[in-house]
Amino acid sequence: MPDTTVQASIKHSNSIHESNKDGVKAYAKIAAQNWTYYITRLNVNIGRSSDPHALTDAALASIPDEDAKDAVHIDLGPSKMVSRQHAQIFFNRDKETWWLEVLGRNGLKVNGTSWRSNDKGPLESGQVIEIAGIEMMFVLPVELSESHIHKQYLERAGIQHVESPESRPARHPLPSGENYGPQSSPKGRGSRGPGSQKALAPAPPDYKRPGTPPSAVSRSVATLRSPAIDNLTGPMLLGNSDVDLSLDENKHIKPQYSYAQMITQAIMQTPEEKLNLSGIYSFIISRYSYYRHQIPSGWQVSIFLVT
């Protein structure tokens, strides 16, 4: 993130979400270094508000999507490099997945690849969007899609990237000079266009789309846990089975388990299936290095309240 404080880090600070012990009901989330925005609607605007205090999140949530076309949900101001309406994340009903469209004249980057104004394309869980030097990761619930994090961000965090043919994610069409929107123009972009793309092979029978169909909103909105607060230069969100979370080298990765789940884990690993509070603390510290390096007065109080 840049040196200046962006509005999003104030309105959507991780410390605010950490105080919510029940988590947040959302379709997905945008996770930055020290703030997180939970996506609870099908259209989310990213930009710079002329009056960042005009509408609260609660007020915006009560406005239908069609009436909030110009609202700024994620405010990256005050930098003038950010346009009033810089980008939009939306659920593409035809493709049944989440898409990103660039609206600002300065463009943005996705996993380090430049997208220009009017470019649009699908978003995968784990992709990093960069606007005016501000990096943020798009994350879907794990039950909908695994997060595939680009190796450049893993290497930056000191995590070795190992990719096997079985784990390699499917490729999605991303802007690479073409404009996916209805206002497409070949000028300055070569002679290729969306119609020249080759047909994709049929999806395998067990393929599951990574989106959230709006027709099933009531049962598909998942609970996303509060984010980890760390000192990394970018967010790091991995599935619990991806790495050994007991190692000190992984102390920056917060387990994606609730306090209640970790308490259950601690109790179930004993022959008697009984454990006192001190034993629960010891189990969590030995199993998860993240909590071993946190201030005990914080998370241990939360464990005590849950028990």
| Higher pLDDT, residue 8 or 229 | 8
Q: Above 70 in pLDDT, residue 231? A: no
Q: Above 70 in pLDDT, residue 225? A: no
Please report the pLDDT score of residue 217 as a whole number. 41
Q: Which residues pair with 137 in a beta bridge?
A: 31, 128
Please report the pLDDT score of residue 193 as a whole number. 42
- The CATH number covering residue 258 comes to 1.10.10.10
Q: Which of 210, 228, 246 corresponds to the end of one domain? A: 228
Of 181, 149, 186, 153, nearest to 168 (Cα)? 149
Q: What is the pLDDT of residues 64-76, one digit of tens each?
A: 555 566 789 999 9
- 1 located within any domain: no
- 274 located within any domain: yes
Amino acid at position 289, single letter: S
Structure tokens that stand for 113 in this block: 């690849």
Measured over the CA atoms of residue 293, residue 248, residue 257 and residue 99, the dihedral's sign is positive
Q: Which of 201, 228, 255 corresponds to the end of one domain? A: 228
- Helix, strand, coil percent values for the chain (each to nearest 5): 25, 20, 60
What single-letter DSSP state applies at residue 169? P
Q: Report H helices in 50-166.
A: 57-61, 151-156
Alpha carbons within 13 angstroms on the beta-carbon side of residue 154 total 15
**Mean pLDDT, the chain, integer:** 75
| Higher pLDDT, residue 186 or 118 | 118
Is 129 found in the same domain as 248?
Answer: no
Is 301 found in the same domain as 194?
Answer: no
Q: How confident is the model at residue 237 (pLDDT cuts 50, 70, 90)?
A: very low
Is 187 found in the same domain as 71?
Answer: yes
Structure tokens that stand for 5 in this block: 């404080």
Highest mean pLDDT among 64-73, 134-143, 163-172, 222-231: 134-143
Please report the pLDDT score of residue 213 as a whole number. 46
Is 246 found in the same domain as 205?
Answer: no
Region 248-270 average pLDDT: 85
Question: CB–CB of 254/302 below 8 Å?
Answer: no
Regarding beta strands 43-47 and 74-75, do their DSSP bridges make them parallel or antiparallel, or are they unpaired? parallel
Q: Above 80 in pLDDT, residue 23? A: no
Region 93-115 average pLDDT: 94
- 63 located within any domain: yes
Cis peptide before 210 (omega within 30 of 0): no
Least confident of 1-15, 21-35, 45-59: 45-59
Q: What span, in angstroms and rounded, lies between the C-alpha atoms of 232 and 153? A: 10
Is 215 found in the same domain as 80?
Answer: yes
Own/partner pairs, 189-193, CB within 8 angstroms, 24+ separation = none
CA angle in degrees (0–180, nearest 5) for 41-117-85: 45
Is 155 found in the same domain as 24?
Answer: yes
Q: Which of 189, 206, 228 corresponds to the end of one domain? A: 228
Scored b (16 or more CB within 10 A) or e, 226-244 reads bbbbbeeebbbbbeeeeee
Write the burial class of residue 29 (CB in 10 Å: 0-12 exposed, 13-18 middle, 19+ buried).
Answer: buried
Please report the pLDDT score of residue 137 as a whole number. 96
- 2 located within any domain: no
What single-letter DSSP state applies at residue 73? S
- The CATH number covering residue 29 comes to 2.60.200.20
| Higher pLDDT, residue 71 or 23 | 71
- 29 located within any domain: yes
Supply the range of the domain harboring residue 52. 7-228
CA angle in degrees (0–180, nearest 5) for 281-286-291: 65
The total number of structural domains in the chain stands at 2
- 123 located within any domain: yes
Structure tokens that stand for 258 in this block: 């609730």
Highest mean pLDDT among 100-109, 226-235, 237-246: 100-109
Question: CB–CB of 92/99 below 8 Å?
Answer: yes
Please report the pLDDT score of residue 70 as a whole number. 78
Is 282 found in the same domain as 243?
Answer: yes
Q: Above 80 in pLDDT, residue 148? A: yes
Q: How confident is the model at residue 253 (pLDDT cuts 50, 70, 90)?
A: confident
Please report the pLDDT score of residue 156 as a whole number. 85
Amino acid at position 201, single letter: A
Q: What is the pLDDT of residues 165-219, one digit of tens each?
A: 444 544 444 443 344 443 333 333 444 444 444 444 444 445 444 455 444 444 3
Region 110-129 average pLDDT: 95
Regarding beta strands 128-131 and 108-110, do their DSSP bridges make them parallel or antiparallel, or are they unpaired? antiparallel
Percent of the chain with pLDDT over 70: 65
Percent of the chain with pLDDT over 90: 32
Q: How confident is the model at residue 51 (pLDDT cuts 50, 70, 90)?
A: low
Please report the pLDDT score of residue 194 as a whole number. 41
